[in-house]
Chains A and B, each alone.
Chain A
Amino acid sequence: DAKTTQPNSMESNEEEPVHLPCNHSTISGTDYIHWYRQLPSQGPEYVIHGLTSNVNNRMASLAIAEDRKSSTLILHRATLRDAAVYYCILRAMNTGTASKLTFGTGTRLQVTL
């Protein structure tokens, strides 16, 4: 499995934007970039995913480098409820076969008032 590298922790002030980086220099052409987050005492929650182009949804934006060797998850206005561990995951999209999620240790985001 291709690996990802993330900072162990980051801090942000509430209502400020947060940029969470992820390096994936060994990404293959068929790997999608997925982001999940895990709030305390909960299972991981899907945030966003993309292949080559930048993506936006109601939760966040995903900016993907042109060479696809890195990406950045952007929370436009962090709130206290965004405090969680954020995981950047590469996933081959094989419908009907095993396309498991390989989690690293993620980035623990702290949000302060």
Chain B
Amino acid sequence: ETGVTQSPTHLIKTRGQQVTLRCSSQSGHNTVSWYQQALGQGPQFIFQYYREEENGRGNFPPRFSGLQFPNYSSELNVNALELDDSALYLCASSQDYGYTFGSGTRLTVV
């Protein structure tokens, strides 16, 4: 098992720009979820993909979008960045009962 890998680890963007975050799921996991974690808070669910189809979404606007690829890697795209989008973005993959999380991408919007 190689675990969940996210890239980049840190990123600084300007308000209004677009960003793409990437995630390589753990081998054999067909479900991937993305979470946003603000400082001092628990992670908040953004959306989930199962076999390349979105099958659940949290309370996030449409400018947050994603993709899951046939090899189960995934992307999170955020358009028109706002200052409040500054957070740790976590990717998690799952095959059965437990999720395996990556270490996250720290996004700072200035």
Contact = CB atoms under 8 A, between A and B. Distances in A.
A45 to B, nearest CB: 7
Interface residues of B, number: 25
Contact of A49 (B48, B50, B98): B98
A103 B46 CA distance: 12
B43 A44 contact: yes
Given A97-B55, A98-B55, A42 B42 contact: no
B49 to A, nearest CB: 10
Interface residues of A, number: 24
Interface centre among B40, B55, B57 (most CB of A within 10 A): B55
Interface centre among A32, A93, A99 (most CB of B within 10 A): A99
Interface of B: 4, 33, 35, 40-45, 48, 50, 55-58, 90, 92, 97-104
